[in-house]
């Protein structure tokens, strides 16, 4: 017998390094198959929180599906219709898949993806909500009379969540398949069809990190620390970066991003003019593409928009005040907010990491003070708010801040339908009132009033303050 001293690459560790065959095998087994156990519990906790935050709403068409709306409205419309139907009847999805089996096989053959995205992975077979009832039933630490009640909580959450999962997956599958069918004739070679399949995946916010060669240990780390939804973030980042490439994939990416931004801008301008509000088309400033209704600021919730805002703020700071990039004191909320890189990192981080930032800086992402150990009631409320659906959290937050029933319903309904909603900041509320009364009284925006009247409109400003009590209160 001859000892095998051959060498090979451990592809999932590093395709550029050559190891002894046995070492390569051990490395792949460690990094690819088992990963790093230190990240597993954190990744599992984040998966549960992510599912609780996002899995019980109907926002898919206006979040993951927003780029599809302006790229292929017909595919979006068909997906949205079946999306709502599948909530009440999961067979809707199965019938659609069976009817389009040939197209699906072709899409998958070229790298297309169907099935569960990461937002609902905790509900899938083998996920935390599926495994916990079994763990409780087999536990010796829980008295038998309480096991049924304890196991019923995750069991019922999963049953309700699976309804939303069916709805969620239906939209994404239909959007991908219909977009593939619509663009298939533009891809004439197998290589181009591979590019098209990759574009269709990214357009709907999915990608396979494993297929891209990302080791399991890295995937676990990404889910535990830096990203709220690693595969979704990677897909949208890939779509944006593809606009700077060449080939069919780049052409489709530029077309989809361009249509998305133009379409959102047109909708925003129309809404702002109808409500006689300022047009907000500068992504580096607060309120980008949003309008104000009933004390709430409502806008699109797409990851593409989020990336654009972060990028614009970074670019603006680089030429207006580059010293902001020297602010790295993460334990100071004001210093943290000054550096545009830090909020961008925070906004994309995992739930545990985001909350860690909140306690480190003593301020939540909106700048509100964090409760401390000396206030256990408010601390408990905050922790509880992090594990409920975004729409419910928005409803409670709006109701608790005096927005009234209309404001609370608007906030919750906006989040549940895929829009972004938050209370208008005090400084913005003051600006809105100034502009409103300036237009009513003088027929000019507040900005034009200051520009056209003597002494920057000082007399007119005093007159408005004397006339409108709510304007005085907002000062």
What confidence category does residue 324 fall into, taking pLDDT thresholds of 50, 70 and 90?
confident
The answer for residues whose C-beta is within 8 angstroms of residue 402's C-beta and 6 or more apart is none
From residue 125, how far is each of 86, 158, 188, 212 by CA, in Å?
19, 10, 39, 24
Q: Choose the weakest-confidence range: 11-15, 204-208, 321-325.
A: 11-15
Residue 19 — left, alpha, or beta (φ > 0 → left; ψ -120 to 50 → alpha)? beta
Least confident window among 9-18, 179-188, 403-412, 433-442? 9-18
Q: How far apart are CA 401 and CA 377, in angstroms?
A: 17
Under a CB-based contact definition with an 8 Å cutoff, are residues 417 and 57 in contact?
A: yes
The pLDDT tens digits of the residues spanning 95-133 come to: 999 999 999 999 999 999 987 678 888 888 878 888 888
The first and second tokens of residue 131, run together, are 């495994």
Count the neighbouring beta carbons within 10 Å of the beta carbon of residue 284.
Answer: 17
Give the pLDDT score at 403: 61
Q: What is the reported pLDDT for 9?
A: 39
- What is the average pLDDT value for the chain, to the nearest integer? 84
The predicted model gives 185-189 an average pLDDT of 93
Nearby residues of 139 by Cβ (< 8 Å), 6 or more positions away: 147
18: confidence class by pLDDT, cuts 50, 70, 90: low
Under the banding of pLDDT at 50, 70 and 90, the label for residue 389 is very high
- Highest mean pLDDT, choosing among 7-16, 159-168, 253-262, 421-430: 253-262
**HSE on the CB side for 100, CA within 13 Å?**
22
Write phi, then psi, for 383 (nearest 5 degrees): -60, -40
Kindly tell me if the per-residue pLDDT of 299 is higher than 80.
yes
Rounded Cα–Cα distance for residues 396 and 391 (Å) = 9
More confident residue, 226 or 64: 64
Least confident of 24-28, 186-190, 361-365: 24-28
Closest CA to 171 of 104, 95, 77: 77
What tens digit of pLDDT does each residue of 241-285 get? Answer: 999 988 888 999 999 999 999 999 999 999 999 998 889 999 998
Cα-based distances in Å from 97 to 230, 263, 339: 27, 30, 47
Distance between CA atoms of residues 215 and 377, nearest Å: 42
pLDDT tens profile 398-432:
876 666 788 889 999 999 999 998 887 766 777 77
Q: In this structure, how many other beta carbons lie within 10 angstroms of the beta carbon of residue 134?
A: 12
- Mean pLDDT for the stretch of residues 341-363: 87
Answer with the residue of higher pLDDT: 313 or 402.
313
pLDDT-derived band at 195, boundaries 50, 70, 90: very high
Q: Give, rounded to a whole angstrom, the gap between the first and last alpha carbons of the chain.
A: 88
Using alpha carbons, select from 53, 56, 120, 152 the residue that is nearest to residue 387: 53
Q: How far apart are the C-alpha atoms of 254 and 182, rounded to whole Å?
A: 17
User: How far, in Å, CA of 244 to CA of 258, rounded?
Assistant: 13
Token output for 333: 């909320």
How much is the average pLDDT of 23-31? 56
Q: Is the pLDDT of residue 1 over 50?
A: no
Radius of gyration in angstroms for the set of CA atoms belonging to the chain, rounded to a whole number: 25
């Amino acid at each position: 017998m001859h000892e095998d001293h051959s060498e090979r690459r451990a592809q999932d560790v590093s395709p550029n390094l050559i190891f002894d065959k046995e070492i390569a095998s051990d490395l792949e087994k460690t990094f690819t198959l088992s990963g790093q156990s230190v990240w597993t519990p954190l990744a599992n906790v984040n998966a549960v929180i992510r599912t609780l935050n996002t899995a019980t709403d109907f926002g898919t068409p206006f979040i993951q599906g927003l780029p599809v709306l302006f790229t292929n409205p017909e595919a979006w419309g068909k997906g949205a219709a079946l999306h709502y139907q599948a909530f009440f009847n999961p067979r809707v999805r199965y019938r659609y898949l069976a009817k389009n089996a040939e197209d699906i096989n072709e899409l998958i053959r070229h790298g297309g993806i169907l099935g569960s995205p990461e937002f609902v992975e905790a509900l899938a077979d083998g996920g935390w909500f599926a495994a916990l009832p079994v763990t409780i039933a087999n536990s010796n630490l829980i008295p038998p009379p309480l096991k049924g009640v304890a196991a019923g909580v995750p069991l019922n959450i999963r049953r309700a969540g699976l309804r939303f999962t069916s709805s969620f997956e239906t939209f994404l599958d239909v959007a991908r398949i219909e977009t593939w069918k619509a663009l298939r004739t533009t891809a004439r070679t197998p290589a181009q069809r591979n590019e098209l399949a990759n574009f269709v995946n990214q357009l709907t916010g999915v990608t396979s990190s494993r297929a891209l060669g990302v080791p399991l240990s890295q995937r676990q780390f990404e889910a535990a620390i830096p990203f709220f939804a690693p595969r979704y973030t990677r897909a949208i980042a890939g779509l944006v970066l593809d606009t700077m490439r060449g080939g069919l994939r780049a052409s489709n990416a530029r077309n989809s991003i361009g249509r998305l931004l133009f379409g959102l801008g047109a909708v925003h301008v129309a809404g702002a003019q109808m409500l006689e509000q300022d047009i907000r088309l500068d992504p580096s400033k607060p309120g980008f593409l949003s309008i104000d209704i009933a004390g709430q600021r409502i806008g699109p919730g797409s990851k593409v928009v989020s990336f654009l805002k972060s990028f614009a703020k970074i670019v603006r700071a680089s030429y207006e005040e580059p010293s902001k990039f020297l602010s790295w004191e993460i334990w100071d909320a004001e210093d943290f907010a000054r550096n545009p890189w830090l909020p961008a990192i925070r906004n994309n981080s995992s739930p545990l990491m985001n909350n860690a930032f909140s306690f480190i800086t003593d301020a939540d992402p909106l700048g509100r003070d964090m409760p401390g150990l000396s206030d256990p009631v408010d601390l408990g409320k905050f922790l509880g708010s992090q594990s409920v659906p975004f729409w419910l959290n928005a409803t409670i937050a709006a109701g608790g801040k005096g927005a009234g029933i209309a404001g609370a319903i608007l906030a919750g309904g906006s989040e549940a339908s895929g829009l972004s909603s938050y209370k208008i900041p005090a400084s913005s509320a003051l600006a809105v009132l100034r502009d409103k009364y300036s237009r009513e009284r003088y027929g000019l925006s507040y900005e034009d009033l200051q520009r056209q009247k003597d002494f920057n409109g000082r007399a007119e400003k005093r007159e408005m303050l004397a006339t409108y009590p709510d304007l005085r209160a907002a000062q």
